[in-house]
Structure formats: C-alpha cells, structure tokens
Amino acid sequence: MSEPSITGELLLVGRIAKAHGIAGELAVDVHTDAPDERFAPGAVLNARLRDRTVRTLTVSTVRAHATRLLVRFDEVPDRTVAETLRGAQLLVSAADMPPSEDPDAFYDHELEGLVAVLTDGTEVGTVREIARSPGGELLVLVLPDGTEALVPFVREIVPEVDVKGGRVVLDPPEGLL
C-alpha cells in the first residue's frame, strides 16, 4: 500500500483516542468547529500515525458518545487494526477549508504565528497555538524570554484580531502576563 502524498498546510480536525469495542470503531477527540462536515460519512481524512507515517481514511459511520465521536472508517475492519491508529492525528488540507463567513471566527492556523501586542502597541509575544479547555479556548503565547502564557480567547481580553496585519491585540487584566 503506498503512502498518500500530503502537501500544503495541514489542519488538525481530530485525534484518535482509542479503539472502542471489537468492530473497529474508534473514539475521536474533536478539534474542529464543523464536526458534522469533517466527519460526515464519505469524508476523507489523512491520519498521521505516531511513527509519522500517513494513511488515508474514509469515514464510514459516526455517532456521538459523551464528549467524543465514535467513528468507523472503511479501512479499519476490526479492533486489531483500530489499535494501530491510537494517538493518530486526523488532518485535512487547509486548502479544503471553506472561508469563514463569520468575521469573528478564525481557523487555528490563521492565528498561529501572529504577534501579540498590548493596546498601546507593546509587543508581548507570539501566538504558538490554540489550546482548548472545558472553560474555552486559550491563546498559547511564547513570551520574549521563551516562557509561555495562556490567554483566554475572549473579546474582553483579545479585543482585536488582525490576521492580514499579522497581530492580535490584548487587553489583559493585571497579572495575566
């Protein structure tokens, strides 16, 4: 079986947590705002395994289960195969993502690398990634000294996102940074 060729920027839409049951179903942690689209039957995803190899997977069935999705893929006939996919990242090409209709909605890849500045223009760091927690989304900033800071991604603290200008404006409460 030849490895699929993946080029361009890839976006994480899910991560395989574990095998579920004996029929090849997989528990998937969702990392997309559009799970109904990304995990619809017939959708094709690239799975980057822990050894960095890549496999193409086609969604067969999907159902909700607590905070995860339970997904069957055409290429995974049983639990033995499913176990080999534990920890795999499920990726799609950034080119396949439709533009957002909401001016206040952003894809993670659009925010990563933006310069973080205070309302007075002082540069305080760079957005490394977006972390998700039960309390909401967090900007993970790399500060000039190399340490990290977590900033709640809410309008009160992040009043402006200028993707084209390459920056996010922060108005943090005292002691956050």
Residue 59 exposure: Cα atoms within 13 Å on the Cβ side? 23
**pLDDT of 37-49, one tens digit each?**
899 999 999 999 9
Task: Name which of 3-17, 18-32, 54-68 the model is least confident about.
Answer: 3-17
Question: What pLDDT, on the 0 to 100 scale, is given for residue 131?
Answer: 85
Question: Would the pLDDT of 87 be above 90?
Answer: yes
Residue 5's pLDDT is 41
pLDDT band at 31 (very low <50, low <70, confident <90, very high): confident
- Residue 89 confidence (pLDDT): 94
Question: The tokens 């800071």 sit on which residue?
Answer: 149
Residue 7 has pLDDT above 90, yes or no: no
CA distance 41 to 3: 22
CATH classification (class only), 108-170: mainly beta
CATH tag, 10-96: 2.40.30.60
Q: What percent of the chain has pLDDT over 90?
A: 69
What pLDDT sits at residue 108? Answer: 78
Query: Per-residue confidence at 1, pLDDT binned at 50, 70, 90?
Result: very low
Domain assignments of the chain as residue spans, ordered by start: 10-96, 108-170
Look at residue 6 in the predicted model and tell me its pLDDT. Answer: 46
Q: How confident is the model at residue 99 (pLDDT cuts 50, 70, 90)?
A: low
Whole-number Å distance between alpha carbons of 14 and 70: 12
pLDDT at 10 over 50: yes
**Hey, is 63 helix, strand or coil?**
strand
In 3D space, the residue among 139, 104, 109, 108 whose CA is nearest the CA of residue 124 turns out to be 139
Backbone angles phi, psi at 176, to 5 degrees: -70, -40
